[in-house]
Amino acid sequence: MPQGDQVRKQIQNWLCGAGNSVAKAADKLGNASGKLQLAGLGAAGFGFVAAQPELVAAGLALAATGGAGNILAGVGQFSAGLLQGAGGGGLATLLTPRCL
């Protein structure tokens, strides 16, 4: 294999690995953020029922933090897809995935 092909393959492998790592981190962030968002909405609902406006405000702030985490997780998944696509040969990976 010529030297240029080896370097290209190494770069593709690195991009694939980086994409997989970003995807795993984004997945963990999304899972944690979803739980945070649900806990915040639960606290806000309980505060509303109990007529405790300070609990409602804290719950909504917690839910908003979880929502922001979910948005960041989505951006991370999108970025991971770009890295994996660049490492696996781009559009060709739709038919024959090479980035595992």
pLDDT at 97 over 70: no
In the block, residue with structure tokens 């660049």: 86
Q: How does pLDDT run across 40-49, given as a tens digit for each residue?
A: 999 999 999 9
pLDDT at 11 over 70: yes
pLDDT at 100 over 90: no
Distance CA 75, CA 86 (A): 17
**Residue pair 86/97 in contact by the 8 Å Cβ criterion:** no
Phi, psi of 52 (to 5 degrees): -120, 90
Handedness of CA 99, 84, 17, 31 (dihedral sign): negative
Q: What is the reported pTM?
A: 0.77
**Residue pair 76/26 in contact by the 8 Å Cβ criterion:** yes
